[in-house]
Amino acid sequence: MNAVLLIDTAGPAITIQDAGRPGYARYGLSAGGAMDPWAMAEGEALLGNPPGLAALEMAGYGGRFRMLHEPCWCALTGAAMQARLDGIPLPWRASFSFLPGQLLEIGPALAGVEGSGTYGYLHVAGGLDTPREIGARGTHVRAGIGGLDGGTLQSGTRLPLGTSGGADRTSSNLPLPEYLASRTIRVVWGPQSGRFRADTRDRLLKETFTVSHRRDRMAMRLDMAGADPFESLLTGLSDPAMTGDIQVTGDGCPTVLMREHQPTGGYPRIATVITADLAAVAQLPSGAPFRFALAARDEAVGALRDWQDGLGGMAERIRPIGQMDELLAQNLISGVVSANDP
């Protein structure tokens, strides 16, 4: 029998995620998928999983997990969260062996530290072996499909795992990626930017924003230091929307469309986050100040190539966790005193 992951206690927003369902927007379904594809690639590299397998996405808080029947190698990536295995702290962005009977506790995202963010990921060797729906296992919450019953996972859920080899693995980790600390998000002008006044476009690039608590996998509203709302344009044709579009709603609030955005939209989009910065904007903690910066087309294309090269070279950055590091992480002996003590 393959290993089974038991969600002993579920955090408020745990979903099964993978690479999503691109190509269905014309049928009214946005691609969805993991909010942070870089973190997904990290997990694949650490465990030797092929691309596209499903993992758990945890928004802000994890939960308590147990492994049943068989041991399994796992990895934690994305925004760092408090994590302990049978009470022993676990490093983030690293692989570890999860044995039957052990308790994995994943707490809140760590705030105020380098690389803090919102979405953390729990990966398992072989991936989560849940049913496919419309070509993928990932949950599209807005559409109510994928995962288990199309929604967030609940306490008591048992998730079957895929077959994996590598019983003779050793622990390894990856360095902290720079984008988790980024507070400058690059954009290009959006499809309706020309309808906004020049001073409104200038303000988008000069304003300091924070991410509102009104955020989910569909979109996140932005709070502004300035008291006045943005210029709002209430008339226009509904046309295709895409992840990263910054639409200005009727109350003048800029809102960034995320992975489960509506396939078409009538609110005008003043700008669009470049593809290479989509993970960075998704990981921004609520309340963290940030700014937008205008990118030229060549810069956006170059950043995308660098991003894709980074994904392709992920395995080259893996480093083993040496024996000494592992020993130092354990409390092997208690009650040791100085030889100078009487």
The pLDDT assigned to 259 comes to 97
User: pLDDT, tens digit, for every residue of 75-124?
Assistant: 999 999 999 999 999 999 999 999 999 999 999 998 876 668 999 999 99
User: pLDDT, tens digit, for every residue of 275-291?
Assistant: 999 999 999 999 999 99
Nearest to 145 by CA among 16, 276, 334: 16
Q: Are 93 and 176 a contacting pair, CB within 8 Å?
A: yes
pLDDT at 27 over 60: yes
Confidence of residue 266 (pLDDT cuts 50, 70, 90): confident
The pLDDT assigned to 168 comes to 64
User: pLDDT, tens digit, for every residue of 130-169?
Assistant: 999 999 999 999 999 999 999 999 999 999 999 875 556 7
pLDDT at 271 over 90: yes
Contacting residues for 165 by C-beta, under 8 A, at least 6 apart:
none
Euclidean distance between CA atoms 277 and 258, whole angstroms:
12
Euclidean distance between CA atoms 294 and 16, whole angstroms:
34
Host H or E run for residue 96: strand 94-98
Euclidean distance between CA atoms 42 and 169, whole angstroms:
17
User: pLDDT, tens digit, for every residue of 205-257?
Assistant: 999 999 999 999 999 999 987 778 898 887 777 889 999 999 999 889 999 99
Mean pLDDT across the chain, nearest whole number? 90
